Chains A and B, each alone.
Chain A
Amino acid sequence: MTAPSAPMLQVDDLKVHFRTRVARAPWKPVQVVRAVDGVSLMMQPGETLGLVGESGCGKSTVARAVIRLLQPTAGRILFNGRDITDLSQEALRPIRPKIQIVFQDPASSLSPRLTVDRIIAEPMRLAGWEKSRIRDRTGELLRFVGLDPQYAYRYPHEFSGGQRQRIAIARALALSPELVICDEPVSALDVSVQAQVINLFKDIQQQLGISYLFVAHDLGVVRQVSHRVAVMYLGKIVEEAPRAALYETPLHPYTQALLSAVLRPVPGAARNRIVLEGDMPTPIAPPSGCRFRMRCPLAAPVCAEAEPPLQEIAPGRRVACHFAPDATIARP
């Protein structure tokens, strides 16, 4: 959607590995969980990139690494052209206000001991703002996210889930960020409230022109907010495409299976659901070759031998499958 300009966020071959020991067995070798194993992303200003995948695929880990709550094991993260991968927490402080995050569960992302005005004030206090300026800005932010500023002196537990998420959004916007990472921001909410919060995200983007890295497992939600969508499986991106293209003609077998599982709004419409066998393999010992081959209906010997690279097969479309773009699973 955006004209190709300098990318705001560029992630090159990001890897986040966790070293774990087997509980109560220190003599056993350290296990390496490859939560994120080579992810590359590019984001333009004002754009929303949806990152989808089932739970455990590493999408939240990507989000937390981009905002440097996790230290990447390898790869590079460039924000506005500046490499922030290895900046110390101290060196990162001036950049922090430009990248903010909205977490999944506002019950745990808002301190139960603080009133709403103090919660929203925290980033501004850390930025050294004056009290009167903070007070003005807090009221402005509350109105902006659709909350009555007279509620500012209440505690988070006095609000509904949707209202709490609005508080979290207001706090993330306090310092005028350029990129907001949304880590499953609506999955903890009731379906009726989800739509309102999604609309709020879209309104905010329209008015402020900020970018979202929108992490979710719900394809319907991602479809509503995203300009482009990347699908993750077991620590890697398997397909990336503009929204319309991805939802209309998914190229990767995994994407096809995922999309076939989405409920159609038309009652009685043919579902033709592709049911995948088994579970996602453990990221401790990913399968050889293509990571999806164990569950892929189209798997062939070549899939076990070579890992399919994520290659661009059309402008803005990247797929990691040996058979792309002709890998179409026959519907039952």
Chain B
Amino acid sequence: MADPTSPAATPIEAAAPARRSTGRGRARVFVLFRDAGTRMGAGILLVVTLAALLAPWVAPYDPTAQSIVESFHGPSAAHWFGTDEYGRDLFSRVIWGARPALIVGVLSVLVSMIVGVPLGMVAGLKGGCVDLAVSAVVDVMMSFPSLLLALMIVTLVGSGLHTLVIAIGIAHVPLFIRLARSSTMQLRELDYVAASRTFGGRDGWILGQHILPNIIGPLIVMATLGIAGAIRDEAALSFLGLGIQPPEPSWGNIIRDGVSAILAAPWMALISGFALALTVLAFNMIGDSVRDVLDPRDIAAASNERGERR
């Protein structure tokens, strides 16, 4: 077969010069921050993250240092958020409580993604028996609320940060399997996937080159919303005494202490509950606006855009 070296004698379609390409990724991020909700969410998240990272330096007291004489002091200049039953500084405890919340939130979602995304993609691409088996397991897991599932795992394995990450991570796996599976099923019918097969592309190649880059958007949205859910679950398990064990502070166990002393020190439950709610809200707001920006109908608009967002 001759090698095509000479140009074909067809008119070069130069009449329609291709549009100037803008840095797609960067443009997308700017679009994101045009939304007031995102800015607010990002602001809250920044504060919470900094608090968690800089806890040893920001917190005025050791979060576990007891001082019985100061038990149940209300908010004051010395103790901004007051103190608890053992006279521990609540401000310091709430700051340190951001650590397990963020660690469990982020790591458990990573666990869910690492387990769920490959399973979902393979099930979606292969179909048939593989899909049937994976879907059956997912259906069984989905029939339990994720918190109940996490609770069962923690009860079996025992509490602690590691088990929390794994338990909550596994409990959220079905969400990622479902999303990856359904997105893959939509994509596998597309001609560029078929074309890839005609070049000899195997399943792994197709998943890595064509499926994953196209489902990463929805996955990021799901991950952001998943972090919010995981933080809630961590707080719930700690509230039930199955998560972070006292005296280590976690928003969940601070709320529990506060509930049992709701009449003596109502600020305890209120303040830590507020921290929890704000953080969950922040992740939800960011997740929502990422979803809006990544909405398939908007992708063309966002990537072609030169300033205005519709």
Contact = CB atoms under 8 A, between A and B. Distances in A.
> Is chain B's interface secondary structure helix, strand, loop, or mixed overall?
loop
B134 to A, nearest CB: 21
A103 B13 contact: no
A124 to B, nearest CB: 9
A103 B195 contact: yes
A155 interface: yes
B5 interface: yes
B198 A99 contact: yes
B3 to A, nearest CB: 7
Contacts of B194: 64, 69, 101, 103, 109
Given A200-B8, A208-B4, A110 B200 contact: no
Given A108-B191, A155-B21, A157-B303, A144 B196 contact: no
Interface residues of A, number: 58
Interface string B184-209: 00000011101111111110010001
A210 B197 CA distance: 21
Nearest to A94: B200
Interface in A177-205: 178, 196, 199-200, 203-204
Nearest to B4: A144
A209 B1 contact: yes
B16 to A, nearest CB: 5
B192 A209 contact: no
Contacts, number: 127
B65 to A, nearest CB: 53
A96 B213 contact: no
A147 to B, nearest CB: 7
Chain B interface size range: 35 or more
A208 B21 contact: no
Interface string B223-235: 0000000000000
A127 B200 contact: yes
A108 B209 contact: no
A259 B134 CA distance: 52
A83 interface: no
Contact of B209 (A101, A122, A166): A122
B195 A146 contact: no
Nearest to B9: A203
Most chain A beta carbons < 10 A, residue from B16, B192, B196: B192
* A-B pairs with lowest CB-CB distance, top 4: A109-B191, A123-B199, A203-B8, A93-B200
Interface of B: 1-14, 16, 18-19, 21, 24, 190-192, 194-202, 205, 209-210, 213-214, 299-300, 303-304
Interface of A: 64, 67, 69, 89, 92-93, 96-97, 99-101, 103-105, 108-113, 122-123, 126-127, 140-141, 143-148, 151, 153-155, 157-160, 162-163, 166, 168, 171, 173, 175-176, 178, 196, 199-200, 203-204, 207-210
29 contacts: A64-B194, A67-B198, A69-B197, A89-B197, A101-B194, A108-B191, A109-B191, A110-B192, A111-B214, A112-B299, A122-B196, A127-B199, A127-B200, A143-B7, A144-B5, A144-B8, A145-B8, A145-B10, A146-B8, A147-B12, A154-B19, A155-B303, A173-B4, A175-B199, A176-B3, A200-B8, A200-B10, A203-B9, A210-B1
